[in-house]
Structures are given as structure tokens and as C-alpha cells.
Amino acid sequence: MQQSKRHSSFPIHIAVFLAPAVLLYSLFMVIPLVNSLRLSFFEISSQNQLSFSGLQNYIKLFTDSNFAPFFWRALKNNFVFFAVHMLVQNPIGLLLAALLAAGGRIRNFFRTVLFMPTVLSVVIIGFVWQLILNPLWGVAEGMLTAVGLGEWFGPWLGKPETALVTVALISVWQFVGIPMILFYAALIGIPDELTEAAHVDGASAWDIFWRIKFPLILPTVGIVSVLTFVGNFNAFDLIYTMKGANAGPDFATDIMGTLFYRTFFGQQLQLGNPTMGATVAAMMFLIILTGVLLYMFLWARRVQTYEM
């Protein structure tokens, strides 16, 4: 009797345990997010009065000649930024993880050194790399000249053709430690029996990596990709630090984050526009949401996870 009563009563302890997280998360994340989305459906008058305007802001963002070219350029630049991370950061992260997992006495040292830039402040990274690449007194030109490549040097951060890729590579340098550590953790989780068995069967190291280890860490590949995607489409700080809110030269380094900042807060004589800023923020949210949903439904459900 007593037993069944206990079962039917509301599991109050669950609510108690969830409450702190739910409350704080709602207060600091959910409510501001919803409020920001709401703001994107309003217009602000010169007397600071808000009035509902439906989808006007979105139509403006996609079609108005003052916003649309900026939006599409920022989106394109953001995809380039993401592509550089996917093609450079994650493969290098995987390579470093594979080297670390192969053992060696000084791997702890390298693990720490390679991860270190990740914990440094973006402002320091931006400042140091600007000094290194400075065409007047940077060390980059001297170092390239020392190995006979001095002619390759250029003011990369100042040229529209190279600025975005340069900034993206600096970001890669900073964050390569994260995919490295995630891949490393996955790789050392693979039991030795599997590789030993493959070895006995006559598989080469190359085969062992690509046919045994890589399929086993595929879930991690997915996680790293989606983390890169989310991080890149939220990126702002490095470009703001190095190129300012105008994301020069000629908006070559303008990504969604800097576009949002300029629109929302204004810049020099340009006044901030909170409702259009919220619209840009809503688009960033939608893009990231789409990316994460694609990952969840197209990748995470299909990829084979093995119990090890």
C-alpha cells in the first residue's frame, strides 16, 4: 500500500534538482535569447518608440541595398572562415593527436605546449600576431628571408585578398588544441587489443589508423565539426581585435559577428540600430541552429558507435 503510494506521487526530488539549473539558464540564456528574437520583429522610431513591424526587418536584411550586400558578404566570408578551420585546423588537430597517442616520453610537454594558445586571451593573440606580421618591424619577414622566402612576404593583414585567410589561420593557430585534445582522448580510448589483432593480421600502421582507429573516432569527428561550426559562426573577438568593427580592408574580413556589432552598436558616425542588430543576431541563431540540427539528424543518428 505504502509502496504504491510512493510510486504514484509526483517525483518532487527531480524538480528540486533541476530547479537551480533551469532557473539560472532561463534567466540568463533563454529569456534574453527570446527577447532578442522578439526585438527583431519591431521597429524603433527616432523617439525611441518600439512598434511591431512583422517581417519587415528580415525583408530589409535580404533585399535592401544597404543591408543585403553586407549580409551576403558576411555570410560568405563566414563560410570561408569555417572552411579554413575545417580544412586546416581539424586535420592538423587529428594529426597532432595521432602523434601524441603514438606515445613518446615528451608527449606531456607537447600536449601542454600545443594546447597553451587556446587558454590565452584573444586580445593577446591578436596583438602578438599583428606584431609578428607587421611589415615595418615584424619578425615574419626576417624569418622568411632567413630561409630564402623573403619575397613571399606581404602585408597580408592589409590586403583584401589575403586578410580573411590570414585572420582565419591565426584563429586556427590559437584553437588547434581543442580538436587535438578531443581526438587524443578518443584515440587513447581505443583498446590495444584491436590494434594488436590488426597487427597480427598483417595490417600496416596506415591501414590500422584509417580502417580501425578512424572509424572508431567518427563520433568525435562529428562533435569537433559541429563545435567548429558553432564557434566560427559566433566568432567576433579576433577580427574585432585585429581589424576593428569595420572589418577592413574594404570589409574583406567582415563576418556575421562584426556585422552584428556594427549594426547593433553603431560605429563612428553611424548610429546603432538595435532592431536590425537583433535581426542579424536572429539570423546567426538560425544558421547555427540549422547546422546543429543537420548534425543531429543526418550525422549523429547514422554514424555507427561501437562499444569498446
Partner 1 sequence: MRKLFTLISLLVGLSLVLSACGGGPAATQAPAEKVTITIESWRNDDLAIWTDKIIPAFEAKYPNIHVVFAPTAPAEYNGVLNTKLEGGTAGDLITCRPFDASLKLFQGGYLASLNDLSGMENFGDVAKSAWITDDGADAFCVPMASVIHGFFYNKDTFDKYGLKEPATREEFFALLQALKDNGETPLVMGTSDQWEAATMGFQNIGPNYWGGEDGRLALIKGTGKYTDEAYIKTWQDLAAWQPFLPEGFEAVKYPDAQSLFTLGKGAIYPTGSWEIGLFEKDAAFSLGIFPPYTENAGDTCYISDHTDIAIGMNAKSAHAAEAKTFLSWVASEDFAKLYANALPGFFPLSNAAVTLDDPIANEFLGWRQTCKSTIRDSYQILSRGEPNLENELWRVSAAVINGSLTPEQAGKEIQDGLDKWYKP
**Cis peptide preceding 249, ω within 30 of 0:** yes
CB 285 within 8 A of CB 37: yes
Count of positions (residues) in the chain: 308
**Binding segment toward partner 1, per CB under 8 A, in 30-38, 129-137, 142-150, 219-227:** 129-137
Q: Is 142 an interacting residue with respect to partner 1 (CB under 8 A)?
A: no
CA distance 165 to 133: 14
Binding mask 178-217 for partner 1 (x = CB under 8 A): ----------------------------------------
**Binding segment toward partner 1, per CB under 8 A, in 41-49, 169-177, 179-187, 284-292:** 41-49
Binding mask 50-79 for partner 1 (x = CB under 8 A): ---------------xxx------------
Binding mask 151-180 for partner 1 (x = CB under 8 A): ---xxxxxxx--------------------
Q: Toward partner 1, which CB reaches closer, 231 or 248?
A: 248
Question: Which residue's C-alpha cell is 587558454?
Answer: 119
Return the residues of window 255-294 that contact partner 1 according to CB under 8 A: 261, 265-272
- Which member of 4, 8, 9, 48 binds partner 1 (CB under 8 A)? 48
- Widest pairwise Cα distance in the chain: 87
Q: How many CB atoms within 10 Å of residue 150?
A: 12
CA distance 47 to 282: 24
Q: Distance of alpha carbon 205 from its chain centroid, rounded?
A: 32
Q: Which residues pair with 267 in a beta bridge?
A: 270
Q: Is 9 an interacting residue with respect to partner 1 (CB under 8 A)?
A: no
Stretch (H or E) spanning 186 = helix 177-188
The contact set with partner 1 (CB under 8 A) reads 24, 28, 46-48, 65-67, 130, 133-137, 154-160, 243-246, 248-251, 261, 265-272
